Amino acid sequence: MPVNRNALVRYHTIDKCLQNRFRKWTLNDLIDACSNTLYEYDGVDKPVGRRTVQTDIQTMRSGKLGYEAPIIVKDRKFYTYEDAEFSITKKPLSKGELDKLAEVVDILKQFKGFSQFEEVTDSIQKLEDKVYSTRNNREPIVEFEKNENLKGLNYLDQFYQAINNKKALMVTYQSFTAKKARSFLFHPYLLKEYKNRWFVLGYLDEKQPDFMIAIDRIQKLEVSEEAYMRNRFFNAQKYYKDVIGVTVNKGLPVQEVKLFINKISAPYVLTKPIHHSQKLVEQNDDGVIISMQLRPNLELEQLILSYGGNIKVLGPTKLKNHVIKKLKKALNDYE
């Protein structure tokens, strides 16, 4: 059952009081203790209600939160734990809680490319060991898409730190189309992940203030002593808002992209929208027509082509012709 923060503060305050066997605790004493603790947290001088603390005690006694606290009343007045060694903080985790912790560990491990992960690696390892040694061994139930063999992952944290600390970088880089590598001064602004590949958006020069590089094409990376050029060229939060992937064709306006998806692929597109702007225009027995507000780019074309014959571009005409051209070429390659 979900528990708000104030309730947790009260439970732990009551628990701390009842562990103190050198004092007898009346209900009013527990109310005062809870009120004082919450005042320390929030600075609000508002006493906790009598009914609230009584309900807290009943909740702690019950199994709703897994505490089953042995709270008794002595002399019809004083609250205490029947078991002097009991504390809600010592209560062992349930199997369900251990399973959830195991999933959290798996999620945390996805960020091991960043130095922040390295700082807590030992803690995460201890947590993982504790979880797996406590519960019954079983196969993982959550599998994340990842590519640990991707080149350049070792540069990921260097970019993160450079962005965070406002540092320029000297990058030695060779794109897929370049015959040889070149070195240039780069001012990183934003890390972007797309389909398990990482990209960095930043300032190269006045003509290319929003230059993008792929970290798997980097050969060398060094911190530069040159002054960092702060981002005053684009809104990083909105930069990729109107595109699929990482390529932004600034020369193209945002336009309506209309697609027909047949009944085979329609459920997949409806349950997992291609883009946040996706709208359902029409639906019938043959399939659906959707519309999106986008700047067409290479990634959009690749996504459309990945559906094969289950998708058809209705507009804009230029995008439709690009897809037709690539489909014809693919067909010719097979003949």
Between CA 254 and CA 243 the distance in angstroms is 9
Which candidate, 171, 168, 202, places its Cα nearest to that of 184? 171
Tell me which residues of the chain have a pLDDT lower than 50: 1
Domains of the chain: 5-90 (1.10.10.10), 95-134 (no CATH), 153-223 (2.30.30), 255-334 (3.30.70)
Between CA 43 and CA 281 the distance in angstroms is 53
Between CA 274 and CA 277 the distance in angstroms is 9
The angle, 0 to 180 degrees and rounded to 10, between the axes of the packed helices 50-61 and 5-19 is 80
Which candidate, 161, 179, 175, 245, places its Cα nearest to that of 204? 175
Helix (H) or strand (E) holding 207: none
Between CA 310 and CA 300 the distance in angstroms is 15
Rg (the chain; Cα; Å): 29
Task: Answer whether 186's CB lies under 8 Å from 170's CB.
Answer: yes
* Token pair 């489909």: residue: 327
Query: What pLDDT score was predicted for residue 1?
Result: 44
The structure's pTM equals 0.60
Between CA 286 and CA 276 the distance in angstroms is 24
Which candidate, 281, 290, 294, places its Cα nearest to that of 255? 294
> Which tokens hold the place of 149?
């063999």
Which candidate, 320, 312, 307, places its Cα nearest to that of 265? 307
Query: What pLDDT score was predicted for residue 248?
Result: 93
Task: Answer whether 260's CB lies under 8 Å from 312's CB.
Answer: yes
DSSP 139: -
- The C-alpha angle 69, 75, 78, rounded to 5 degrees, equals 50
Between CA 68 and CA 87 the distance in angstroms is 10
SS in 3 state form for 28-71?
HHHHHHHHHHHHHHHCCCCCCCHHHHHHHHHHHHCCCCCCCCCE
